[in-house]
Amino acid sequence: MLGANAADPDKILRITFQAAETGFDPVRVSDYYSGTVIEAIFDPLLTYDYLARPAKLVPNTAAALPQISDGGRTYTLQVRPGIYFADDPVFKGARRELTALDYAYSIGRFLDPKSRSPYAFIFEGVAAIETPGRYTLVVRLKKPDYNFSHVLAFPLTGAVAREAIEHYGDDSPAHPVGSGPFRLKHYTRSSKIVLEANPGFRELVRDGRRLPMIGGVEISIMEETQSRWLAFQRGDTDMEYQLSEVAPTFMNADGTLKAEFARRGIKLQRSVDPEITYLYFNMQDKTVGGLGKEKIALRRAIAMAYKIDDEIRIIRKGQAVRAQYPIPPGVAGHDPDYRSSIAYHPRAANALLEKFGYRKGPDGYRRKPDGAPLVVRYSSTPAERDRQFDELMKRSLDAIGVRLEIHKERFPELIKLENECRLMMRGAAWIADYPDGDNFMQLLYGPNSGQSNNACYRSAEYDQRYEKSRLLPDGPERDRLYHEMTRLMEVQTVWLLLDSRYRNVLLQPRVKGFVKHPVLHAEWVYIDLDK
């Protein structure tokens, strides 16, 4: 028999964040840490099955998955009755039920320019939100989109209560009021976030046990790796995943946990993050851009000369895998059997440059086919990590006689120049906002130039396929289009796909039932602790 609330107040999960949060108002944040806490406090309409891989959408506060009509333009959902927000003084002692109006209000806030939400872009396709009934929500889209359900599972779309937002005003980031499994108990900004199990949380059962099983989560902000590592080893924390810098200390070369830690009952869970890192060429640049054969040859040669294995081994300290496909593991549309046609082959790269007229001058560096000096400019920030990438790029291009110029700029200015299509070449990364291939394939869609399409790539062939893929649900037909788009990108060498990083989660013996989910980060609701 299930009790009113199974959460044991004596079971407190202790974890760390390696950077300070910015607050817990869903429309105002874009950082991982704030988003994780928001995920634990607020309830989106949909979520993902904890164990299914690739990630599988399931209803959360919705009674069922949305009904999609009007050729993919209309999404209709029913909110389950009897779900309540956590008690808060703003409700003046009354129980406040969650309704469709709350979702309409919450999504509407993203669309309000005054919110200045960093995630407004994921709702740009929304034309109208309607609430024909207390529990019925209808979202009308500007264009057909069969993947919009993923947006409704995005943790930041959790419902907020209008009266709480209006009451707390500018201080609402410090007063989150949601209907999720946890609520904020104590908060010292940039230092400590203490969550407790929401006593009014709806009945959510897994394997016969009511969730959450733990009484709370204590999050300490620890910026320094040594502090996190020592705290974990002393047993001060239960779970640690931000230790890639000291990974060789606890991991063998084959990715297994060292025996000394295994003997202590410590567990290691290793998964690949749903992200890609890539090197992009600005397709509008005069030196490396364009679709002329000699330009494609130059990009191809650079891509074939870049030592990805060295990047993984030296810079990533072995904590990454080579990315072969633009859609990473754990994301719908990923193809584990796909192999990139761009391989490391400096000899072939040299031959290719010779063939297309990039001859070496007396100084050992190549010149353009018209005899002008060839200088490739690679942009990066002044950060120490980026200096390692600069050196690797220099070594790689020296091997094919291409002169490299390193362009150093502050991060905001790099983004600005990138949006104006004024950089020549830069490394970039993209982590899934939602676990669907569309989130990655849109990175090369022409109209997204100057936004997420940082290569400023415009190809009618690619765009047609992409637009067609938007009308299709996840499946073989869409996969075929994604394959064609990927091959096209490779043939024209717009990107060189680099790697996807590992996430190594260390767990103390007392942590039970933890499985790293590709996109959910507040798995705390599913785990248990030994006392």
Q: What's CA 62's distance to the chain center, in Å? A: 24
Q: 293-305 vs 346-355: helix axis angle to the nearest 10?
A: 160
Q: Which residue in this structure is represented by tokens 């064609």?
A: 484
Cis peptide before 382 (omega within 30 of 0): no
CA–CA separation, 457 and 326 (whole Å): 15
Smallest distance, another protein to C-beta of residue 236, A? 6
| Position 486, amino acid | T
CA–CA separation, 80 and 47 (whole Å): 14
Smallest distance, another protein to C-beta of residue 16, A? 9
329: number of Cβ within 10 Å: 19
Residue closer to another protein by CB (options 120, 471) is 120
CA–CA separation, 493 and 487 (whole Å): 9
Smallest distance, another protein to C-beta of residue 165, A? 13
Smallest distance, another protein to C-beta of residue 406, A? 18
Residue closer to another protein by CB (options 119, 306) is 119
Smallest distance, another protein to C-beta of residue 219, A? 11
Residue closer to another protein by CB (options 232, 482) is 232
CA–CA separation, 71 and 76 (whole Å): 13
Q: Which two tokens stand for residue 160?
A: 């907020």
Q: In Å, how far are 223, 229, 269, 273, 318 from 245, measured between CA atoms?
A: 13, 10, 17, 16, 10
113: number of Cβ within 10 Å: 7
Residue closer to another protein by CB (options 171, 405) is 171
Residue closer to another protein by CB (options 121, 142) is 121
Residue closer to another protein by CB (options 120, 392) is 120
CA–CA separation, 457 and 453 (whole Å): 7
Q: Which two tokens stand for residue 322?
A: 């080579």
Residue closer to another protein by CB (options 127, 429) is 429
Smallest distance, another protein to C-beta of residue 145, A? 16
Which residues on neighbouring strands pair with residue 268, listed in sequence order?
Answer: 506
Q: In Å, how far are 200, 228, 436, 450 from 446, measured between CA atoms?
A: 47, 43, 19, 9
Nearest Cα to Cα of residue 282 among 494, 97, 507: 494
Alpha helices of 471-520 — where are they, by DSSP H?
Answer: 476-491
Smallest distance, another protein to C-beta of residue 485, A? 19
Smallest distance, another protein to C-beta of residue 117, A? 7
DSSP 215-244: EEEEEEE---HHHHHHHHHTTS-SEE---G
CA–CA separation, 288 and 283 (whole Å): 7
Residue closer to another protein by CB (options 19, 101) is 19
- Give the binding site for another protein (CB under 8 A): 20, 22-23, 25, 28, 30, 113, 116-121, 170-171, 173-174, 188-192, 220-224, 226-227, 230-231, 233-234, 236, 410-413, 415-416, 419, 430, 433, 448, 450-452
Smallest distance, another protein to C-beta of residue 451, A? 5
Burial of 347 (0-12, 13-18, 19+ CB in 10 A): exposed
Smallest distance, another protein to C-beta of residue 223, A? 5
Q: Which residue in this structure is represented by tokens 């959902």?
A: 77
Smallest distance, another protein to C-beta of residue 43, A? 22
Question: Which conformational region is residue 179 in: left (phi greater than 0), alpha (psi within -120 to 50 degrees), or beta?
Answer: alpha
Residue closer to another protein by CB (options 155, 173) is 173
Q: Which two tokens stand for residue 443?
A: 């990175």
Smallest distance, another protein to C-beta of residue 431, A? 9
CA–CA separation, 332 and 353 (whole Å): 37
Smallest distance, another protein to C-beta of residue 515, A? 27
Residue closer to another protein by CB (options 76, 233) is 233
Smallest distance, another protein to C-beta of residue 118, A? 3
Residue closer to another protein by CB (options 208, 412) is 412
Residue closer to another protein by CB (options 21, 490) is 21
DSSP 64-82: SSPEEEGGGTEEEEEBPTT
Residue closer to another protein by CB (options 28, 299) is 28
Edge-to-edge strand list for the sheet holding 74-78? 67-69, 74-78, 136-141, 126-133
Q: Could you list the beta-strand ranges (E) of 86-232.
A: 126-133, 136-141, 182-188, 192-197, 205-206, 209-210, 214-221
| Position 44, amino acid | P
Residue closer to another protein by CB (options 349, 414) is 414
